[in-house]
Structure 1
Amino acid sequence: MPHRDNLLLASLSPSDLAALQPHLKLGRFEQDQVLFEAGDTIDATYFPTSAVVSIVVTLSSGQVVEAAMVGRDGVVGASAALDGRMALSRGVIQLSGEAMVCSLAGLRGAAMQSQPLLSLLIRHEQTLYSQAQQSTACMAAHHVNARLCRWLLRSRDLSQSDTLLFTQEFLAEMLGVHRTSVTVVAHTLQEAGIIKYTRGKIQITNLEGLRDAACECYETVKSQYQNLLRD
């Protein structure tokens, strides 16, 4: 069943999953597809199974910076089921793939009938908030080289692939840096044998080297999601 590919759904009790099942449908989403904009009323939630979603903040200048990344270990839009129906940021597909889409009414109804499910959603939103805080600290304290490595590792974990289809422009936008900075770092990583980069595609060739070059934020965020699913 597709829902088993989302770790959050897979962690649910049989009764909670049965309550959600009639409201779940599988959807296909393409890179750069916008799920919602800041200020929109959210009417659906998304449990990625292979797609990866970026939660981004758009500044008045038009600059876009990623605050959090959600994939098969989480859910997008769950705050709407907790009565926060207005989106505070943009949700955009980072990597094409599939997600289980749940109606807002279905998720909210199930959560109101199940304390364990409600607790899981609240803890997930806390984890997402913590990831956004970590991203803020990372941007302020860590070099773009380490930040890019951390970002690639997180994308790899969620997509379960060593091949990532990203342009340098997209990477620069997500990291909040100039494209030239990404060009320099990508060249350095390629020279070190950690990645191979061609236009629009990054191949991770030395996973351990990438982990060694990443900042501590990668392990911190990974640990937070593991704790969420373990509790």
Structure 2
Amino acid sequence: MSIIVTGGNRGIGNAIATELAKAGHDVAITYRSGEPPLHSYRPGQERPESRFLAVQCDVTDTEQIDATFKQVEAELGPVTAVVSNAGITRDGLLARMGEDDFTAVLDTNLVASYRVAKRALRSMMRAKTGRMVFISSAVAMRGEAGQANYAASKAGLVGLARSIAREYGSRGITANVVAPGLTATDMAAALPEERIKAMVDQIPLGRLGQPEEIARAVRFLIDEGSYVTGAVIPVDGGAGMGH
């Protein structure tokens, strides 16, 4: 199976790509800037075992997404699974949040997922099978002060996935959401220590999640979740339960 993971150069996306590559899948990641991970290879290079292809792509650009799919398909074959993970934050209280900060987060986190899903449908419909997984957040279910833009973008992924599930289930295409809670990534590390402590205090399991724990949930949906679609799977230590 050929799989694209957006935003796969670090954190949760990197853990997902690594998990899927170890499971024997042909995996490609996108990254917007900087250098790709050390355990990846670039287009045109010989593919090492259990490594993933790294393609530079800005997911807010439809033409770059199309070019990425063409490149991945040329290297790895038709794409039959996508994991929409790329995301940004621009936190701030709503009264002081600029419109650019609101729309930029929605464009990267939500609209880009629409772009990726729409492009992926081409090969999935031909194959009459496909797996789409959208990485949301516990924040989408319960809200978070200072993150109206982020919460809105992540909540929108639920509606997007469930609509795709209804539209294309008859074609053998599933669409699901994984909703992580606070996870040990660079994004979490950038938060003040007192804020992390306050957030951990609200998590029944009393700790941050690990990227690998989210990755295993994604692998389940791709490898074993053929009768799971339109679902929201929380991997959040209980932070969002009841929502």
Q: TM-score range by the shorter chain?
A: 0.3 to 0.5
- Compute the TM-score of the two structures, normalised by the length of structure 2: 0.31
Higher helix share goes to which structure? 1
